Structure 1
Amino acid sequence: MNFIIFMSNTISDTFKDLGFKKECALVPFITAGDPNLNVTEEALKILDAEGANLIELGLPYSDSLADGPVIQAAAARALHNQLSLEDIFNRIAQLAPNISTPIVIFTYFNLILSQGVDQFVTRVRLVGAKGLIVPDLPVEESEYLLKLCEENSLELILLISPTSSIERIKLIAEKSQGCLYIVAGTGVTGFRANVDIEVKNLISRVKSVTKKPVIIGFGISTSAQASLVKSWGADGVVLGSAFVNKMSNFNSDSTLLNLRSFCREIKQALLMK
């Protein structure tokens, strides 16, 4: 494989830039291959053009324990097309030089194991992605993957849950690369009517022990919720099911327009003072 100079910043550099501008990161999530890779490519270009600061790209998986029904259905649609991991990686490699937003691969550890951990991490680097999120990898078992990511100029983002003790928060904060991911509620991803006020307290607890940027996800689906979480001190806001839902029932005439409009709406909410 030929080596390519990729245009996008690292995750850490992205948050440094945003910190100087006092802006909150928009982090949309979509599922690779839903409904097909051509649409995924167009969606990634739209999210890049509309101001996404990081893009989580989920690898479709049949046993996605952290995902709610919307993202599970998206993974099922992608897998129905007999999409391979190599197909996805080849498409990322074609696209990455042409967008400025860092791509972060969201995947479960069994998919990494099935490829071989070393080989998987090397492949992620070569295709031009900038980081990994592995929701079912506990911090106690993360050392080897953290080491490999550091050696490959990738950043492994670790998750903090609402039930994490302050001692565990300190450990995760010490180990996580690029930023920290706070899970806004127990359970799986999806839509929630309100963001629990306890998230505000959790953000404060995390920021009391680390200067690393903090992104918030799971259950955030509207511009009002994104703006609220920003006001609580979040450095970035992740919206998954809300973006993935725009891709369901795909219609070539309207779906990508709706995705663009929704991304623009959330971006504007995060830019408002």
Structure 2
Amino acid sequence: MTKKLSVGGQAVIEGVMMKGPEKMAVAVRQANGEIAVDVKPVSSIRDRYPFFKKPFLRGVVSLVESLVDGMKALSYSAQISGEEEEKLDDKEMALTITVSVLLAVLLFVVVPTGAMRLLQDRGVGPVALNLVEGFLRLGIFLLYIGGISRQQEIQRVFQYHGAEHKTIYTYEHGLPLVVENVRPFSTLHPRCGTNFLMIVMLISIFIFAFLGWPSLPVRIMSRIVLMPVVAGISYEIIRYAGSHIEHPWVRRAILPGLLLQKLTTREPDDSQIEVAIASLKAVLPPDESHEQE
């Protein structure tokens, strides 16, 4: 059997982005019912500078590149689906990413560590303060996911998220990429970005617990500076889990992330599965893509 490519993806507005080693594709269901597919070559700093392929470093690079690719895919899908009239240019994209990162820092760093002032005044020790902060951060994250999952527009994105996972499962099992084969598979996948985020939250609780309790500005900076370390460790865990999923202890370790995917995925309909199939076929080599027809 031909070795399968390592393929990842992301749900976008009325569509799915798939990324393989050489190509990235965004497939979007247009207002007229047709599927538009945009394919671009994959360019990674890891290919130009092999140093960044080293363990832990590759996780940080992958996170940054995934964020940039994801924002570009979202911008394209919003334009094609009719949600926006114009695609964001590079400056607008940079501004959008910057604002998103700043809001994430405010919500998941500044708010939880600042709130610990209430416990600090009661004489709670540094380790306990860091642990409570970490679990508060996790709680805010879960509330955020739960809150947005109630929005109808987001629920459709989560359906495409489920279609992405089902389609990748079908490909990994060596089955032809047709709706009938894709439909029975699970919407939960061990290599999902949701799993990555959950592991980031849990690893950060452990690492930050031993940092002491300096002033608020120092605490905020320490969380930001150490985030690449946390991301690098989390990436290696996800990478290992994806290739050793047959081990019971691995399945138990990723269970929190799989449970969280019950919030971030929904069962897709056949038309959404068709979009995910179109996206995945577009990143496969020509000979393998023809085999899937």
Specify the TM-score bucket, using the shorter chain as the normaliser: under 0.3
Structure with greater proportional strand content:
1
TM-score normalised by L of structure 1: 0.25
Structure with greater proportional helix content:
2
TM-score normalised by L of structure 2: 0.24
